[in-house]
Amino acid sequence: MPVNVTPRGPMPLLSLFRRSIASLLIFPFVVSAAAAGVFNPDTFTLKNGMRVVVVENHRVPVVTHMVWYTVGAADEGPGESGIAHFLEHLMFKGTMKRGPGEFSAIVARNGGQENAFTSSDYTAYFQTIAVDRLELVMEMEADRMTNLVITDKEVEPERMVVLEERRSRVDNNPGAVLGEHINGALYMNHPYRNPVIGWEHDIRGLDIKRILAFYKRWYAPNNAILVVAGDITAAKLKPLAEKYYGAIPAQPPVVRNRAQEPPQKAARRVVLRDKRVRQPSWRRTFIAPTLQWGDKADVYPLEVLSDILGGGASSRLYRRLVVEGKKAVSAGAYYSSDDRGPGRFVFRASPRGAVTMAELEKAVEAEIADVVRNGVTADEVRRAQQRMTAEAVYARDSLRAGARALGSALAAGMTIEDVEAWPDRIARVTPAQIQAAAKALFDTNRSVTGLLLPAKGS
């Protein structure tokens, strides 16, 4: 079944834009192109409240059709961890009109591809198919928005599938187990502390009544966003959207009432020893602002900083710790700026040879202190901006990038403007802003340090 779990929170815009680039455009041209917008979508709203976004790309007669529901793992109730992802699996079962598996079989027979994914902030379903088959998948997707039929015959086997997915992706992966414990320590109260796939005991306890209640509460046109990208125009899509999705009545609005994260005042440390570990690793995760949480002024400077520190083999951390210092076999940094709630700025490294974890930690801390004390150079900022804005421009070539970027942003509570203006806002970041953001963020009392080590004696 074509289902999967995405990482906690939306995919950062840079990750959606990032792709293999043979050569970079010169910086003045990139800024000029970025200022005109990235995907330049058309939008409209159906009478029942469903938002529709159209991204034209007429290179080939193909479209990507996506329905995004503004519900994810962070919207689950007590004892419901994993229910959003479990429901995602069950959406591929039958409806009043079609039997189990028939949806997928029809897409395949018509030469299409499909998938679905769940994060903390949204659940999405998509098909990529020839444009003359678009109406077919719209009819089927609209059908399962309200007419899902599930029984114990479907639920129990799928529960075993989800549990096996958890075992293979998490329980059998020491790094993933450590990640769950880091999230549990990082978020003291916010629901991001729970894994998207759910805790095993909750997955085992979910019953049909609870799953269907979740479905009926959240799956409605006024709680969904339709994004279609490819060989289509808004004028051609609108009558189809009105015919299939517009005919579905709106449901009472649902408030995404999530627990708030209190101020953090103490550093935390998580250590996992496991006999399966062959290469130790070190992480430090800081709770960080996003476009919807904390100091928004620091978000774009931190995005540029994450590229400077961890953007590949030319980044500061890789160059200084792997190439020059010979203390690590890998090193990098990552920043999630697009979460609906508090985000993360993560440093990671793995020691080389006889280098101890204490020595590696000291080396990474020295790099963090250097950024806080001395900032970054204008040349580093220019190069990062050039890479990042160029990747946004090149993302226009992708059939799916626009649908993914715009859909995830809207489903997480952001706006089209946040996506379209991203390159221009990145291009305006200054070294002084980056240093100020680093000083505000890198307080060890707002972080969790994680160590993944071999079991003693192994």
Q: Do the beta carbons of residue 24 and residue 196 sit within 8 Å?
A: no
- Please tell me the predicted confidence (pLDDT) of residue 458: 60
Least confident span in 27-31, 99-103, 231-235: 27-31
Higher pLDDT, 49 or 31: 49
Instruction: Examine the residue annotation and report whether 420 is marked as an active-site residue of this protein.
Output: no
In this prediction, residue 36 has a pLDDT band, given cuts at 50, 70 and 90, of low
Phi-psi region of 5 (alpha: psi -120 to 50; beta: other; left: phi over 0): beta
Instruction: Specify burial of residue 181 (Cβ count, 10 A radius: 0-12, 13-18, 19+).
Output: middle
Spatial CA neighbour of 203 closest among 86, 89, 121: 86
CATH 3.30.830.10 correct for 4-244? yes
pLDDT of 397 above 60: yes
Q: Give dist(CA 248, CA 246) in Å, integer.
A: 5
pLDDT of 33 above 80: no
Q: In which element (H, E) is residue 30 found?
A: helix 27-35
- Cα dihedral sign for 92, 95, 100, 101? negative
pLDDT of 201 above 80: yes
Assigned token pair, 420? 């379209």
- Please tell me the predicted confidence (pLDDT) of residue 394: 87
Spatial CA neighbour of 321 closest among 267, 282, 370, 360: 360
DSSP 391-406: HHHHGGG-TTHHHHHH
CA 297 to chain CA mean position, Å: 21
Determine the residue type at 364: V
Least confident span in 4-18, 73-87, 293-307, 366-380: 4-18
Spatial CA neighbour of 228 closest among 128, 114, 140: 128
Residue environment code for 241-264, b if the CB has 16+ CB neighbours within 10 A, otherwise e: bbebbbebeebeeeeeeeeebeeb
Q: Do the beta carbons of residue 340 and residue 74 sit within 8 Å?
A: yes
pLDDT of 302 above 60: yes
Interval 38-66 mean pLDDT: 97
- Please tell me the predicted confidence (pLDDT) of residue 16: 56
Higher pLDDT, 1 or 61: 61
Strand pairing report for 328-335 and 447-454: unpaired
Interval 319-346 mean pLDDT: 97
pLDDT of 380 above 70: yes
pLDDT of 167 above 90: yes
Distances (CA, A) of 199 to 88, 210, 372: 16, 16, 38
Tokens 């903390």 correspond to 120
Of the chain, the percentage scoring pLDDT greater than 70 comes to 92
Interval 330-348 mean pLDDT: 96
Interval 308-332 mean pLDDT: 96
- Please tell me the predicted confidence (pLDDT) of residue 7: 47
pLDDT of 312 above 60: yes
- Please tell me the predicted confidence (pLDDT) of residue 18: 47
Contact residues for 363 (Cβ-Cβ < 8 A; gap 6+):
321, 325, 327, 328, 349
- Please tell me the predicted confidence (pLDDT) of residue 456: 86
Contact residues for 342 (Cβ-Cβ < 8 A; gap 6+):
187, 190, 192, 261, 287, 288, 289, 290, 293, 294
Q: Which of 56, 76, 80, 88 is catalytic?
A: 88
In this prediction, residue 396 has a pLDDT band, given cuts at 50, 70 and 90, of confident
DSSP code for 303: H
Residue 211 CB coordination number (10 Å): 18
Interval 76-83 mean pLDDT: 97
- Three-class secondary structure of residue 370 per DSSP: helix
* DSSP tally for the chain: helices H, then strands E: 18, 12
Interval 110-120 mean pLDDT: 97
Mean pLDDT value across the chain: 92
In this prediction, residue 150 has a pLDDT band, given cuts at 50, 70 and 90, of very high
DSSP code for 17: H
In this prediction, residue 5 has a pLDDT band, given cuts at 50, 70 and 90, of low
DSSP code for 447: E
- Please tell me the predicted confidence (pLDDT) of residue 15: 58
DSSP 52-93: EEEEE--SSSEEEEEEEES--GGG--TT-TTHHHHHHHHTTS
pTM of the model: 0.92
Least confident span in 71-80, 174-183, 386-395: 386-395
- Please tell me the predicted confidence (pLDDT) of residue 351: 98
> Could you tell me the strand order of the sheet in which 328-335 lies?
268-274, 447-454, 281-288, 343-351, 328-335
What is the CATH architecture of 268-454?
Answer: 2-Layer Sandwich (3.30)
DSSP code for 24: P
pLDDT of 227 above 50: yes
pLDDT in tens, 274-298: 999 999 999 999 999 999 999 999 9
pLDDT of 3 above 60: no
Tell me, yes or no, if the two domains 4-244 and 268-454 fold the same way.
yes
DSSP code for 334: E
- The domain segmentation of the chain, as residue ranges, is 4-244, 268-454
